[in-house]
Amino acid sequence: MRRIAVVPGSFDPVTLGHLDVIERAAGLFDELHVLVVHNPGKTALLPISRRVELLQKSIRDAGIAGNIVVASWSMGLLVDYCLEVGASVLIKGIRSQVDVAYETPMAIVNRNLAAVETVFLLPDPAHAHVSSSLVRQVAALGGDIAPYVPEAVAEFLQKAPV
């Protein structure tokens, strides 16, 4: 049986922390879907199509594209996407206890909705302080985001400052 997992997120933009979790997850499953989902609780920086493009480029540049599919989802529940592609596992990166507290209720609800389990992965502690919202803030104020994001993202945001 093919083991298929989904890494969902806003990825606005993808960070080195995300990429680290994606690479670890890709090593654990036969097929990994990296799924851009609109989070209505957040003010967006990039349109979904650009986030998908930057994810695809960053994953290609990192040399880990072999078993990874990048997609977006706006048709309803995240677990509906999982059912559509035959995924039984969601992957979430955990940086701290704050992430555990945020992710736990969603993991329980997703399991109740469709028997989709959530697996928490720990990124390299070097990325523990990195978040898309911090990157958005630093970029908006003209700071250097290169240490926190894949090259493709740094290049794009330098060319098209926010």
Positions touching ligand PNS (CB under 6 A) are 8-10, 37, 39, 42, 77-78, 106, 109-110
DSSP character at residue 28: T
Catalytic residue among 18, 33, 57, 136: 18
Q: If you ran DSSP here, which 8-state letter would residue 66 be given?
A: G
Query: What phi, psi does 92 have (nearest 5°)?
Result: -130, 135
Of residues 121 and 158, the one with the C-beta less far from ligand PNS: 121
Indicate which residue of 51, 57, 132, 136 is catalytic.
Answer: 132
Residue 149 Cβ, how far from ligand PNS at the closest point, in Å?
14
CA distance 116 to 88: 5
- Between CA 60 and CA 68 the distance in angstroms is 10
**Cβ distance 23 to 62 under 8 Å?**
yes
Taking residue 62's Cβ as centre, other Cβ atoms within 10 Å add up to: 18
**Active-site residue flag, 95:** yes
Write down the least CB distance from residue 146 to ligand PNS, Å.
21
Q: Is 33 a catalytic residue?
A: no
Check the annotation: does 33 bind a ligand: no
Residue 151 tokens read as 């090259």
Of the residues 42, 49, 60, 96, only one is catalytic, namely 42
State the nearest-atom distance from the C-beta of 129 to ligand PNS, in Å.
Answer: 16
Residues annotated within a binding site: 10-11, 18, 42, 78, 92-95, 103, 127-133
- Catalytic residue numbers, as ranges: 18, 42, 95, 132
